Amino acid sequence: MRGGFVRRGHSRSHEPRKFGKKMIKCNRMLKKSEQEMTDTQGQCFKNVEKDTPEIRVERADGICNVVINEVVLKQLRHPWWDTLIVKLLSRRISLAVLTRRLEAMWGKQGSIEVIDLGNDFFIVKFYSQEDLDFALIGGPWRIFDHYLTISFWKTNFNPMEASIEYTVAWVRLPGLMIEYYEKSMLERIGNIIGRTIKVDSNTADICRGKFARLCVELDLPAPWFHIIPLMGVKYVVEYEGIHNICFSCGMVGHEKTNYPKKVQTQKAPESNNSGTEKN
């Protein structure tokens, strides 16, 4: 089963934008550059390191701060550059179940290791570059009909403070007129909904005309489209595998029937009625 991922660049704090061969190549170049920088700094500070401790404690205003030597810090971070941070969107999952699912989906050439970071975030280590590339470009991924968001590990990642801002998902446009089944046109339509990643092969080849299917990157905190007018005709936007969408405000996290503002207005008369009955 396939589902969502997220990324915006190796050094960025969140999820990648679009995975592909160019992105993977760019990522490898960044890692190579990082390694070369580490080696250069190691040579430059070779003599200085003799007099500089790996860890030192700084005190300011009665607060102690542990400072790690920069070269040592880069060495500590090096094993994690090729790992992915994953989280199942809108659903909790145990470590054992997630491990079995990911091994079935991604462990084709070698083994993988999954570590629970807390707050429903997990880190995945790959022992095969082919498996890592497949995990990046083979999505979106889904488990139990929920999208799996993925991003490269980043320095100082704190699962208790991290949040998912973007996910990639499949969307459908039922009843879209057949003349619009042209790849560049469909990509432009997808860019209105979010940011087009790819067009479904059946849609691009016009093998199926019941609905158009696009893979787009969605901004979770932003309002989503429920209807898209095209040449005066309104088309419904259906989001595959996305649960708890409220089309009163367009946000993800609650349904229209549980719209917070609506619930609050409904509770107010109840409290007044209860007070009247007591009197």
Average pLDDT, the chain: 77
The half-sphere exposure of 164 on its side-chain side, counting CA atoms within 13 A, is: 26
Distances 26 to 31, 55, 78 between C-alpha atoms, Å? 9, 33, 17
Of all residues in the chain, the percent with pLDDT exceeding 90 is 33
The pLDDT of 136-151, averaged and rounded, is: 87
Whole-number pLDDT of residue 263: 43
Residue 123 pLDDT > 70:
yes
Residue 20 pLDDT > 90:
no
Whole-number pLDDT of residue 18: 46
Domains in the chain, CATH or no CATH each: 21-152 (3.30.70.330), 166-243 (3.30.70)
pLDDT tens-place string over residues 67-99: 888 888 888 899 998 899 999 988 899 999 999
Most confident of 95-104, 215-224, 241-250: 95-104
